[in-house]
Amino acid sequence: MALKGNLRDFSFSQLLNLISLAKKTGTLEVHGPGKDAIISFDEGKLSYAQNSQNDNGLAAVLLRTEKLTDKQYHVIKDKAENIGDKELGLMLINSNYVTQDEILASLKQEFVSTANDLFTWAEGIFQFENNKKPSPEIISLLINLENIIIEGSRQLQEKERLEDEIPSLDMALKFTETPGTNIRNVNLSVKEWRVVSFINPKNSMRQIARTTKLNEFEFRRIVYSLVQAGLVEIIRPEGTDPPSPKIPTLPVESADEQKSLVNRLITRIRSL
Amino acid sequence: MQTVKMVVTGPFSSGKTQFIQTVSEIDVVATERKISSESERIKETTTVAMDFGRITVDDDLVLYLFGTPGQKRFDFMWEILSEGMLGFVVMVDSSRPETFREARRILETFRAYAPTPYVVTANKQDLPDAWDPSDMRIALRLAPDVKLLPCTATDKESVKNALLELLYSILERMES
């Protein structure tokens, strides 16, 4: 019996829990609005994951985890495009570009990140095909699902909280004008500096996230920490008009009558 | 007969019903039910549709005060209630900082529905563990021009002050 349905009705964490408990082997395909993901499992453990938003080849994964430079990546893409991941991995290890541990750590990070992203999908048609394994040319791993389920659920809660704090990425950022605050004296990570370097009332947060190649979750997390530290504030982007203040709805039309009506209300409230 | 309305909103158990009751000339038409959720069992009952109070100004004019339901699952009521309002009051329980984020979310939602004047009240200031309004301003991330008023919803003068400040803001908006 095929395991299929919609994440709307059966969440990704419930699915992972089921696969883990039943020690299932097979491949889960999820088709969400505008994005797809494929995740393989072996005896209830995560063995492979890919999504439709990224190039999932080994070279691209190593580039994303900064184990390869842009130049090295392009050389590999040009000269070794038709080589499978396993063969490419051996070549890279033998030529001392990366170590085996670095490859495995990068792939683990990539697979877990793809799985974590699925926790945030509110809906998506899924189908689990029993005993379907990934292509033998790709490098598969065996990652316990328990930690992924716990961490994914935690991240989902954090994501919801961050979305509450920063509901729209169409707003912009500007440095606060609090005297005595100097961002140069603050210890920031490389990613945080990348975001900071694009802070300008003309740039929307969405544009900065795109330019810095950060996913929305990572980006919101950075912005939240900068806002909490009092270093930046969220503002309306330059050139966009704020919603015009609305004159309250009153049952009279002329300005004088409206003022008179409000003054009558004031007089009455004072007399209570 | 002309009627105008103001909306009193805020998180669960922030004191909306009491605020309206304190100044309404009629018994508040409250639509309260016993609370079923354990997490929300701070008080025995909660408003599930809306509270409804009235202040007659004169023969021609009546002010209605509508209280929104506090529980999140009744958010769908907000848009209906905000339509045609003169302004709104956001009640915040000063002694429950865990509700501040929810208060901010409510404020932003109402501002999006209708950018009419509003005031924020730091309610339950009579409680020993009430936060100072100046600290609440920072926690709620309110701009300096937003009126944050200390309030005790059981005290008529305090409620009158909140309503008057809102009306002054409305008047200022008309004159600007």
Residue A242 binned pLDDT confidence (cut-offs 50, 70, 90):
low
Residue A268 binned pLDDT confidence (cut-offs 50, 70, 90):
very high
What does the pLDDT look like over B84-125, one tens digit per residue? Answer: 889 999 999 999 988 888 898 888 888 877 788 999 999 999
Question: CA triplet B1, B3, B5: central angle to 5 degrees?
Answer: 170
> In terms of Cα–Cα distance, which of A45, A14, A159 is closest to A108?
A45
Which residues of chain B are within 8 Å of residue A244 when distances are taken between CB atoms?
Answer: 115
What does the pLDDT look like over A20-50, one tens digit per residue? Answer: 988 999 999 999 888 899 999 999 999 999 9
pTM: 0.59
Q: Nearest CA to CA, how far is B87 from chain A (Å)? A: 7
What does the pLDDT read at residue B29?
Answer: 64
Q: How many residues does chain B have?
A: 176
What does the pLDDT read at residue A36?
Answer: 94
Give the strand pairing for A125-130 and A26-32. antiparallel
Tell me, what DSSP letter sits at residue B131?
A: P
Percent of chain A residues topping a pLDDT of 90:
39
Alpha-carbon gap, residue B81 to B66, rounded angstroms: 7
Q: Nearest CA to CA, how far is A217 from chain B (Å)? A: 19
What does the pLDDT look like over A94-123, one tens digit per residue? Answer: 988 899 999 999 999 999 999 988 988 878
Decide if pLDDT at A1 tops 90. no
Decide if pLDDT at B73 tops 60. no
Q: Are A128 and A2 in contact (CB under 8 A)?
A: yes
Kindly report the number of other CB atoms within 10 A of residue B103's CB atom.
22
What does the pLDDT look like over A150-160, one tens digit per residue? Answer: 988 888 888 88
Phi, psi of B3 (to 5 degrees): -130, 140
The ipTM of this complex is 0.84
User: CB distance B115–A249 less than 8 Å?
Assistant: no
Helices (H) and strands (E) in chain B, counts: 5, 8
Domains of chain A: 3-152 (no CATH), 166-272 (1.10.10.10)
What is the residue whose two structure tokens read 């208060």? B103
Decide if pLDDT at A82 tops 90. no
What does the pLDDT read at residue A160?
Answer: 83
| Least CB–CB distance from B105: residue in A164, A244, A249 | A164
Domains of chain B: 2-175 (3.40.50.300)
| Least CB–CB distance from B174: residue in A249, A251, A262 | A262
Residues of A with CB under 8 A from a CB of B: 164-165, 167, 243-252, 255, 258-259, 261-266, 268-270, 272
Q: Are A29 and A42 in contact (CB under 8 A)?
A: no
What does the pLDDT look like over B157-174, one tens digit per residue? Answer: 999 999 999 999 999 988
